[in-house]
Amino acid sequence: AQTVTQSQPEMSVQEAETVTLSCTYDTSESNYYLFWYKQPPSRQMILVIRQEAYKQQNATENRFSVNFQKAAKSFSLKISDSQLGDTAMYFCAFDVAGGTSYGKLTFGQGTILTVHP
Amino acid sequence: ETGVTQTPRHLVMGMTNKKSLKCEQHLGHNAMYWYKQSAKKPLELMFVYSLEERVENNSVPSRFSPECPNSSHLFLHLHTLQPEDSALYLCASSQEGRGGGEQFFGPGTRLTVL
């Protein structure tokens, strides 16, 4: 079984600054995917970024990037130039690769990020 | 309607009631999921359907009964619930129901059990 741990229940950042959210995981699988999902207040959860474990290059999506440390089983999310619209709960999630996985995500506890003007 | 929709958005029920939650996806996906989101706990995967067949029942009590009549619709039938079942219930869908695919979530149904 997989576990995902987010050790920061809440974080805050000033608009335009950079913030990093932490995530660690534990698994015996060799091939898997890691995700960051964002759940804004009273709005639907959406995918922020995805990383394939066999890819050494860190994924990047505009202002969002990850620091994937496979040996340390660490997967942090960096948000650059924070905007008020980034205020949300952020979830780290794990998924085993392969057709028999059926996308059974394992989520962390979530980190509430507040961006202050 | 676009994306994933859920009805009702809010539901209050007594412990002896029977109610159903409905989810509909307009994305042409083949897999659908039910999650439970409780305060200060990680999202818990409850059920997974791939091509209308249930492929995961994550030790969910029998008072929760899922139904997937076709690839676009997913129901969660509720009966004799407990107060600890109060939570946000999220539905999601994905293209092929395989590992690594992006899941698209609905807005959720906020359930309160009295």
Q: Is the pLDDT of residue A22 over 90?
A: yes
**% of residues, chain B, pLDDT over 90:** 74
B31, B43, B107 ranked by CB distance to A44: nearest: B107
CA distance A25 to A34: 9
Q: Which residues of chain B have pLDDT under 70?
A: 1, 97
Minimal CA separation from A81 to chain B, in Å: 25
For chain B, give the DSSP string: --SEEEE-SEEEE-TT-EEEEEEEE-S--SEEEEEEE-TTS--EEEEEEETTEEEEE-S--TTEEEEEEETTEEEEEEES--GGG-EEEEEEEESS--TTPPPEE---EEEEE-
Highest mean pLDDT out of A13-27, A32-46, B1-15, B96-110:
A13-27
Q: Is the pLDDT of residue A79 over 70?
A: yes
Residue B72, classified by CB atoms within 10 Å of its CB into exposed (0-12), middle (13-18) or buried (19+), is middle
Name residue, tokens 């209308």: B52
Q: Is the pLDDT of residue A20 over 90?
A: yes
Whether the CB of B1 is below 8 Å from some CB of chain A: the reply is no
Q: Is the pLDDT of residue A104 over 80?
A: yes
Q: Is the pLDDT of residue A5 over 90?
A: yes
Chain A residue numbers with beta carbons less than 8 Å from the beta carbon of B50 are 102
State whether A103 and B41 contact (CB < 8 Å): no
* pLDDT at residue number B6: 97
3-state secondary structure of A84: helix
* pLDDT at residue number B97: 65
CB pairs below 8 Å between A and B: how many? 70
Contact B5, B26 (CB under 8 A): yes
Chain A residue numbers with beta carbons less than 8 Å from the beta carbon of B98 are 98-99, 101-103
* pLDDT at residue number B56: 79
* pLDDT at residue number A36: 98
Whether the CB of B97 is below 8 Å from some CB of chain A: the reply is yes
Average confidence score pLDDT of chain A:
94
The residue among A3, A26, A32, A44 with the most chain B CBs within 10 A of its CB, best to mutate, is A44
Residue in B closest to A98 by C-alpha: B99
